[in-house]
Structure 1
Amino acid sequence: MRDSFSSFHPLVNFVYYAAVLACSMLFMHPVLQIISLASAAIYSVTLQGMKAIRFQLLYMLPLLLFMAVLNPAFHHAGVTILFYLKSGNPVTLESVLFGAAAACMFITVILWFSCYNAVMTSDKFIYLFGKILPSLSLVFSMTLRFVPRYTAQIRAISRAQRCIGRDATQGSLAMRARNGLTVLSVMATWALENAIETADSMKSRGYGLPNRTSFSIYRFDNRDKAVLSIMTGFIAIVAIGAVMGQAAMRFFPSLKMVEMSPFSIVVYAAYFVLCMLPVIINLAEGLKWKFIESRM
């Protein structure tokens, strides 16, 4: 499925992810955590399809359950005792819920970062911070590319070595070790040569010079202004609610949270719309295209 939110200006994308990641890491309120987790899971599926579903079911769900169970086994604070372990340590309701909240926060941040990597490409990051922090933005951008690029290169080297019978999976144990070292040696040589070529290329293009100009395909148009204004409004509502204690949650020594009120419902609704904003934009664009096709 085409992601319409990715076509917005990099500033809009970055502000969105900065807001949802900050809220996901700071808010321990169960309503806000459920909203953030559900929104991240839905948007991840929108971006990556079945791959995201497999990742969530095979890795994220077991990790969520494991972390939720692990905390009460070692953390025994709280006044509501559920039962005792064989070691004599109590398992409390507060520690169980705190473990579930911490696990939910951890999984939510991972899902949001997976969406961030799919939308905020290296060229967008360099566009935003290249003039402010040219060296740091370049290093960060290159770091994000290292793992997928080096993984693809080492696979290509392994396939080439396999064609001449010198792959790490062929021959005796000593031969496999020798072949594996050969693959790593070739990989290290390629990495060093690639680093030198990249440095020479960036230097010849004048990267980092004060008067250097750069080409950009990004334009901050009226659509970006409208979405950024709406997003800023929802962020302001959520921030005001957090300052007034609507996102607070106490786990120890006993559970305590703010009572539901009309203002808290407004804050929860604003946070829901903020987290689901990319999905809403995608749905709106899909309906728009269907309407245009029906008129043709």
Structure 2
Amino acid sequence: MLGFTMFFMHPVCLGISLVSALIYAVYLGGRRAVRFQLCGLLPMLLLAAVVNPAFNHEGATLLTYLPSGNPLTLESMAYGLAAAAMLCAVIEWFSCYTAVMTSDKFVYLFGRIIPALSLVLSMTLRFVPKFKAQIHTVSEAQRCVGRDVSDGSVLQRLRHGITILSIIVTWCLENAIETADSMKSRGYGLPGRSAFSIYRFDDRDRAALGWLSFCGLYLLSGALAGGLYWRYFPTIKGVPPGPFPISFLLVYLALCLTPVGLNVREDRVWARLKREGGTANA
């Protein structure tokens, strides 16, 4: 989805990807995701849509002239909106990825293929939340002794901030060394080493992999065949509507909504099992 979102500049594809990512983010994060979208993504979307026409003056459809004397074209505005939608969609998909793809899942997928790189990437993925939690812990401890960034003069606050940063950096380095030594002592990455995992590749995974492969290959074929062609300069032009372009868009919509559909289905199954379990216990 990240690759398709970055390379498919068709406005319908961008709209589908952005709306699907927003729906999935709200499903995963709830009110926090809505607050992030309103406070973070919406200003970013508006800023990117406004800034691009101010610097990009290409296009054949002249609308007016800016106070600086540069032309304002319809194509530059359309491209600015498309670029802003792409940026927001990529950020949303990344937020969904970090919420779903935990470090143990990443190690399970790539631990036997690229053990060293998978360990580094899993540590990197979990670095930001652990870093934030540790900063909060250290800040609370420093506040108890009167050395928080909110205490004292400006110079004292700066010193306290540098002290907290030094503590956090030292903790990060020590934690990385301890993790590396621990994994090495357990034989991580050695040939023939077995690894415990709660995940199993079953029939549901095979069905999901087959569906994703079909959608990916179909969309790649459609893109190579020009079924998703769209340009913004020098004039706005895209592939005319037809059965094949519409089929590509429908498959793209189905692909974007796949994670939401899977989660909704699993929630319904889980709710049914709980009802059946409660009835049996009664």
* Alignment size in residue pairs: 277
Task: Give the match for residue 53 of structure 1.
Answer: 34
With 250-259 and 140-149 compared, the bigger mean Cα shift is at 140-149
Q: CA deviation at 1:153?
A: 1.3
Corresponding residue to 1:198 among 163, 166, 179: 179
Q: How does 1:60-209 map to 2 (within 5 A)?
A: 60-209=41-190
Q: CA deviation at 1:231?
A: 2.2
CA gap 1:59/1:177 in 2 versus in 1, 3 angstroms: closer
SS at match of 1:107: helix
CA gap 1:196/1:284 in 2 versus in 1, 3 angstroms: closer
CA gap 1:233/1:187 in 2 versus in 1, 3 angstroms: closer
With 121-130 and 40-49 compared, the bigger mean Cα shift is at 121-130
With 160-169 and 255-264 compared, the bigger mean Cα shift is at 160-169
Q: CA deviation at 1:284?
A: 2.9
Cα distance in structure 2, aligned partners of 1:43 and 1:126: 24
Task: Give the match for residue 207 of structure 2.
Answer: 226
User: What amino acid sits opposite 2:50 in the alignment?
Assistant: V
Task: Give the match for residue 43 of structure 1.
Answer: 24
Cα distance in structure 1, aligned partners of 2:193 and 2:274: 45
Cα distance in structure 1, aligned partners of 2:266 and 2:164: 48
TM-score, length-normalised on structure 2? 0.91
1:77-97 superposed Cα distances (whole Å, 9 cap, x missing partner): 111001111222110011110
Cα distance in structure 1, aligned partners of 2:274 and 2:178: 48
Cα distance in structure 2, aligned partners of 1:71 and 1:21: 22
Task: Give the match for residue 5 of structure 1.
Answer: none
CA gap 1:231/1:189 in 2 versus in 1, 3 angstroms: closer
TM-score, length-normalised on structure 1? 0.87
User: What amino acid sits opposite 2:188 in the alignment?
Assistant: Y
Q: CA deviation at 1:159?
A: 1.1
Corresponding residue to 1:33 among 7, 14, 23: 14
Q: CA deviation at 1:271?
A: 0.7
Given the alignment of the two structures, is residue 271 of structure 1 paired with residue 264 of structure 2, yes or no? no
Task: Give the match for residue 5 of structure 2.
Answer: 24
Q: CA deviation at 1:127?
A: 1.3
- Kindly, what percent of the aligned residue pairs are identical? 56
Q: CA deviation at 1:181?
A: 3.4
Q: CA deviation at 1:151?
A: 1.9
Task: Give the match for residue 237 of structure 2.
Answer: 256
Corresponding residue to 2:220 among 227, 230, 239: 239
SS at match of 2:72: strand
Unaligned stretches of 5+ residues in structure 2 = none
Higher relative contact order (CA 8 A, sep 6+): 1
Cα distance in structure 1, aligned partners of 2:178 and 2:193: 20
Q: CA deviation at 1:293?
A: 6.8
Unaligned stretches of 5+ residues in structure 1 = 1-19
User: What amino acid sits opposite 1:36 in the alignment?
Assistant: S
Cα distance in structure 2, aligned partners of 1:176 and 1:281: 49
User: What amino acid sits opposite 2:179 in the alignment?
Assistant: T
Cα distance in structure 2, aligned partners of 1:156 and 1:293: 38
SS at match of 1:83: strand
CA gap 1:166/1:25 in 2 versus in 1, 3 angstroms: same
Cα distance in structure 2, aligned partners of 1:190 and 1:293: 43
Q: CA deviation at 1:250?
A: 1.3
Q: CA deviation at 1:289?
A: 5.0
Cα distance in structure 1, aligned partners of 2:200 and 2:149: 49
Cα distance in structure 1, aligned partners of 2:121 and 2:101: 12
Indicate the RMSD between aligned Cα atoms, in angstroms: 1.9
